[in-house]
């Protein structure tokens, strides 16, 4: 049965050394103290203790949905950066801690020249990862972000996957990522059916495939 302690506002204040001594004796004789000490001693000397880990020598594996320090991902096939500089993450960030600079690259495409996150301001809400259309910014597994200063920044070079280490880039499975079976829930666009009809018109005796396309359109 749960014990409730009622605060007696009219109780006598303990002021004298003798009264403090009596109070200490009473507390020491309380079984809570003894049972607490017994538990700690037992856990300390228990073999294969699993109640605690020996941090920092030991570290627990984080769940994929844990929102740790961000990573900027690359495409594995082409090694190019996934971030297209759309600015959605910067816009949605409720802590206003993302800053990015973009410019035109030599090929005329937008280039993200700099990207930084103030990890001291970030509240790790995950909105930036949720909104990113390219799955470029994700939460990684690095959670040791203690710093001497409140303003502690992660710059693009710190969070972008190095090309040398691309083979070890882990596809994020948590917040902001697609489900593994996402394709099963994606329906084709109306343009898909127009294109299919045009193709079938070029192919003689394609009634069966046309019926199939119409059936798919009805399903949508």
Minimum CB distance to ligand SF4, residue 70 (Å): 7
Q: Which pair of tokens denotes residue 217?
A: 């359109």
**Are the C-beta atoms of 135 and 182 separated by less than 8 Å?**
no
Q: Which pair of tokens denotes residue 21?
A: 């001594």
Task: Work out which of 69, 132, 159, 196 binds ligand SF4, going by CB under 6 A.
Answer: 132
Q: Which stretch binds ligand SF4 (CB under 6 A): 17-25, 79-87, 144-152, 191-199?
A: 79-87
Residue with tokens 């960030």: 93
Site for ligand SF4 in 136-165 (CB under 6 A): 136-137
End-to-end CA distance of the chain: 58
Contacts of 43 by beta carbon, 8 Å cutoff, 6+ apart: 49, 51, 52
Minimum CB distance to ligand SF4, residue 121 (Å): 7
Contacts of 171 by beta carbon, 8 Å cutoff, 6+ apart: 177
Minimum CB distance to ligand SF4, residue 139 (Å): 7
Site for ligand SF4 in 88-107 (CB under 6 A): 88-89, 92-95, 97-98
68 forms part of the interface with ligand SF4 (CB under 6 A): no
Q: Which stretch binds ligand SF4 (CB under 6 A): 48-56, 118-126, 164-172, 180-188?
A: 118-126
Minimum CB distance to ligand SF4, residue 212 (Å): 37
Task: Work out which of 62, 64, 75, 86 binds ligand SF4, going by CB under 6 A.
Answer: 86
Three-state SS for 89-127 is HHHHCCCCCEEEEEEECCCCCEEEEEEEEECCCCCCCCH
Residues 94 and 90: their CA atoms lie apart, in Å, by 9
172 forms part of the interface with ligand SF4 (CB under 6 A): no
Minimum CB distance to ligand SF4, residue 161 (Å): 13
128 forms part of the interface with ligand SF4 (CB under 6 A): yes
Residue with tokens 């499975």: 173
Contact characters 198-217, ligand SF4, x per CB under 6 A: --------------------
Q: How far is CA 214 from the centre of its chain?
A: 42
Task: Work out which of 69, 74, 122, 196 binds ligand SF4, going by CB under 6 A.
Answer: 122
Q: Which pair of tokens denotes residue 169?
A: 């880039």
Integer-rounded Cα Rg, in Å, for the chain is 30
Binding footprint of ligand SF4 on the chain (CB under 6 A): 83-89, 92-95, 97-98, 117, 122-128, 131-132, 134, 136-137
């Amino acid at each position: 049965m749960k014990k409730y302690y009622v605060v007696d506002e009219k109780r006598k204040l303990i002021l004298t050394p003798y009264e403090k001594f009596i109070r200490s004796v009473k507390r020491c004789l309380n079984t809570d103290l003894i049972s607490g000490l017994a538990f700690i001693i037992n856990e300390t000397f228990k073999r294969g203790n699993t109640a605690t880990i020996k941090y920092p020598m030991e570290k627990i594996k984080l769940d994929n949905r844990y929102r740790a320090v961000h990573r900027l991902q690359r495409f594995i096939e082409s090694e190019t950066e996934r971030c297209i500089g759309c600015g959605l993450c910067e816009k949605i960030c409720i802590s206003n801690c993302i800053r990015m600079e973009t410019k035109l690259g030599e090929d005329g495409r937008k280039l993200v020249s700099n990207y930084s996150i103030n990890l001291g301001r970030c509240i790790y809400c995950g909105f930036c990862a949720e909104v990113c259309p390219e799955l470029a910014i994700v939460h990684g597994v690095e959670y040791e972000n203690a710093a001497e200063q409140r303003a502690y920044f992660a710059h693009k070079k710190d969070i972008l996957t190095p090309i040398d280490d691309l083979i070890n880039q882990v596809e994020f499975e948590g917040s902001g990522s697609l489900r593994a079976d996402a394709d099963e829930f994606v329906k084709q666009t109306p343009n898909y059916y127009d294109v299919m009809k045009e193709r079938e018109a070029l192919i003689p005796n394609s009634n069966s495939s046309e019926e199939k396309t119409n059936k798919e359109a009805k399903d949508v």
